[in-house]
Structure 1
Amino acid sequence: MSKRIGKRPKHKRSLPLPGSYLIATEGIQTEVLYFRDLAEELEQKYAGLANRIEVTVPSLTVKGTGVSNLTLIERVAEVIQLSPTLFEHVWIVFDKDDIPLDKFDNAIKSAEQLGWHAAWSNDSFELWYLLHFEFLNAAIDREEYKMKLTQHMQTNGIQGKYEKNSARILQLFTPEKRQQAIRFAKKLAGYYQANIPYHQRNPGTAVYQLVAELTALGQRADTLRKNLKK
């Protein structure tokens, strides 16, 4: 792992920027599209609020890296070192993939040791998408995920097949569907005892933890706007 982790150039800020998030994803398509969509939603919710009241406006930096697991840890450390911003929250987003099992588990543990958070998925990020529509507690392969998501898209009036680089499915992720996905992911997490290795938690995903946190920030903005109207 890079020896530069934790070392920062002198020109950087001495304190993290409040409300700042670095969301570094393994993929450069699906995950990036999803979290940039959430970032735009938060930006709209907080637009103009800081001009009316004192409020910490969250800022999300979403970066697709194209590398996975422990290599992702190293790449994120480099991004942090080169960034002019000290991030208050660092999340890495990755799948299990077809790699040695210990690398998946070690990447999660390494992130936690660095004070970061791991929004992992086993086996695929598409599990998080699928939980918006149905509860799944049995392992399936990635082609089955695509087939199921295609069916849900077509049921909801979107023609064609699910593709990883398509943003069309994002329009189906309403606030209600998002809350359902969070509930289903929490329920799924409850199936596994704490001593079960992460690579054995299939299906399973911790993406809901990050999404729940961002959703709470959006709800906070909604509440502030309502209070201003009173």
Structure 2
Amino acid sequence: MGSDDLFKKRKGAKKKRKESIRERAPYRYLIVCEGGKTEPNYFEGIKRKIEAKYRDKIDVKNKIELEIKGTGRNTEDLVDYTIKLRSLSEIPYGHTWVVFDKDDFTDEQFNNAIRKAQNSDIDVAWSNESIELWFVLHFEYLHSAIRRYQYIEKLNEHFTAKSINNGKYHKNLDNIFDILCKNGNIKEAIRRSEKLRKYYEEQGVTSEANMNPCTNVDRLVEELLQYFE
């Protein structure tokens, strides 16, 4: 093989690698969470389900890749960190999400973080006040503005009624996704989340900080469910 032929072969191989990257990118997800454990554990549960389904698949075009980061960062700092992570990836992500709660942050901080992410082409899975609202919605519809500890009280009631984890919900449960899927109803949680957002839409409320309780975590979850249902 001459030098010209070898060059063409290498160039062709390089082109194929680039094409493979472009094909794979739409299936790559970067999910960056405010919490260090609770949210990452939940989405790691989804990741395990997806990986179990695609474990024996060879065609990369049909294989989803999830990278999940728990940071302990908050609001706008979380968005800045996500932008940096995305920019450092050699293979581009097809989907980038940030996951965070309202908690005790000001209305301005919460809304600004959402807008900053959206303006940077990053999707936001937010909860007002906390992701435990999304968990509660697996068991019941909730339309009362309550605090995080009250979400936990409600989860404890459902955990007790269904004999889950000795009747105790606590943050950082490794198998929280599996628990909710087995004992709650994820389809109903999605429907209830949509119902909450529709209520505020009908009331003309446009500030996410004023939507309490409310969450759109279901948007990310529903998007991921398609890969293993």
Which TM-score band (shorter chain)?
0.7 to 0.9
Instruction: Give the structure 1 partner of residue 134 of structure 2.
Output: 128
Give unmatched runs, 5+ long, in structure 2. 1-17
Rounded Cα–Cα distance in structure 2 between residues aligned with 1:168 and 1:84 = 31
In the superposition, the TM-score normalised over structure 1's length comes to 0.83
Structure 1 position 141, deviation (Å) = 0.8
Q: Within the alignment, does 1:201 sit opposite 2:183 as a pair?
A: no
Residue number among 18, 30, 39 corresponding to 1:22 in the alignment: 30
Moved more, 132-141 or 94-103: 94-103
Q: Within the alignment, does 1:43 sit opposite 2:61 as a pair?
A: no
Rounded Cα–Cα distance in structure 2 between residues aligned with 1:74 and 1:187 = 31
Instruction: Give the structure 2 partner of residue 152 of structure 1.
Output: 158
Structure 1 position 168, deviation (Å) = 4.9
Q: Tell me, yes or no, if the aligned pair for 1:18 and 1:56 is still in contact at 8 Å.
A: no
Rounded Cα–Cα distance in structure 2 between residues aligned with 1:68 and 1:17 = 27
Rounded Cα–Cα distance in structure 1 between residues aligned with 2:92 and 2:61 = 19
Q: Tell me, yes or no, if the aligned pair for 2:31 and 2:66 is still in contact at 8 Å.
A: yes
Measured at CA, do residues 195 and 152 of structure 1 come closer, stay the same or move farther in structure 2, by a change above 3 Å? closer
Rounded Cα–Cα distance in structure 2 between residues aligned with 1:183 and 1:86 = 32
Instruction: Give the structure 1 partner of residue 220 of structure 2.
Output: 210
Give unmatched runs, 5+ long, in structure 1. 1-12, 220-230
How many positions carry a matched residue from both structures?
205
Instruction: Give the structure 2 partner of residue 90 of structure 1.
Output: 96
Instruction: Give the structure 2 partner of residue 174 of structure 1.
Output: 181
In the superposition, the TM-score normalised over structure 2's length comes to 0.83
Q: Tell me, yes or no, if the aligned pair for 1:93 and 1:120 is still in contact at 8 Å.
A: yes
Q: Tell me, yes or no, if the aligned pair for 2:26 and 2:95 is still in contact at 8 Å.
A: no
Structure 1 position 198, deviation (Å) = 0.6
Structure showing greater radius of gyration is 2
Secondary structure at 2:28's aligned position in 1? Answer: strand
Moved more, 102-111 or 116-125: 102-111
Structure 1 position 174, deviation (Å) = 2.2
Secondary structure at 2:27's aligned position in 1? Answer: strand
Moved more, 163-172 or 84-93: 163-172
Instruction: Give the structure 1 partner of residue 169 of structure 2.
Output: 162
Secondary structure at 1:132's aligned position in 2? Answer: coil
Instruction: Give the structure 1 partner of residue 115 of structure 2.
Output: 109
Deviations 1:197-229 (A, max 9, x none): 11000000010000010012223xxxxxxxxxx
Measured at CA, do residues 57 and 168 of structure 1 come closer, stay the same or move farther in structure 2, by a change above 3 Å? closer
